[in-house]
Amino acid sequence: MAALDLIHCKPIGRRVFGLILAVVIVSACAEVPITGRSGLHLVPNAELATMSLEQYRAVLGKSQLSTDARQVAMVRLVGTRIAQAAEALLKETGARDAIANYHWEFNLIQDDKTVNAWVMPGGKAAVYTGILPYTRNETGLAVVLGHEVAHALAGHGNERLSQGLLTQLGGTALSVALQSQPQLTQTLFMEAFGVGTSVGFLLPYSRLHESEADRIGLTLMARAGYDPREAIPFWQRMQAQEQSRPPEFLSTHPAPETRIRDIQSYMAEALPYYQKSNR
């Protein structure tokens, strides 16, 4: 029985139910790499992987993929290097088995008006051409993909989706929710993984996740051989864009001044990996 199916069991005493739910929640917690924070992951990875692949194919089917060979090659090169750094981190942190959950794929969507990028569970990623004027080069793109891969590595989408199932659907299991309210469930999924443009109902959690993804992402790009110090000018360029029209990529992110200050504090943690990779 899935953890959230407890909601549909026969009536039991509130105190007993509370104890059972507490045990389920504690057992469903997972540790975020590098930061060590515990996150609530109520959705089985197998279910997430299946839905991710379906949604990813649906998004690509409705989108126009870029035919710019140079830009496509850059996205896939940077993505592959970041993915390799992510798998190396998983090995070092004792999570080698988790690597089997990732089947990396990086695609560039032709949409100059959308300043966004995202990575679904299992490593299915999309970059929109609208963000390339801000990334400018491989290193700038590594800032973005390091950040987005960090979300996947930390299970932020699972955590947000778990919260969404609890608050919006009364704790219904994902498989049940898909059958009973497929449209709402798909909307929750897309928002949880940054595919939608809505800020959504989990803004405080999202800001925490964004800060974690910044920290983990800096380490990933540094391990992949990209200078993490380039994250600061990238976010400064994004800050200038935010002053006129906040792009989707910034919809739930911390205030620019806070982000840049935090990134500077994480730099000492990431830089040694970059220096080691360039010896």
Prediction pTM value? 0.78
The answer to whether position 19 is within a domain reads no
pLDDT tens by residue, 150-179: 999 998 888 877 776 666 555 455 555 545
Q: Is 123 domain-assigned?
A: yes
Which structural domain, as residue segments, surrounds residue 184? 44-277
Tell me whether residue 39 is in a domain. no
Q: Quote the CA–CA distance of 108 and 95 in Å, as a whole number.
A: 29
pLDDT digits (tens, 9 = 90+) for 212-262: 999 999 999 999 999 999 999 999 998 887 655 555 566 555 666 788 899
Helix and strand counts by DSSP (H, E) for the chain: 11, 5
Helix, strand or coil, per DSSP, at residue 118 = strand
> Residue 29: inside a domain, yes or no?
no
Name the domain count of the chain.
Answer: 1
To the query of whether residue 148 is one of the catalytic residues in this protein, the response is: yes
Torsion of Cα atoms, 27 then 94 then 174 then 151, to 10°: 120
Q: Do the domain assignments include residue 6?
A: no
Q: Indicate the pLDDT class of residue 14, thresholds 50, 70 and 90.
A: very low
Give how far Cα 256 sits from Cα of 29, 113, 115, 211, 246, Å. Answer: 30, 21, 16, 11, 11
Identify the active-site residue in 87, 105, 148, 230: 148
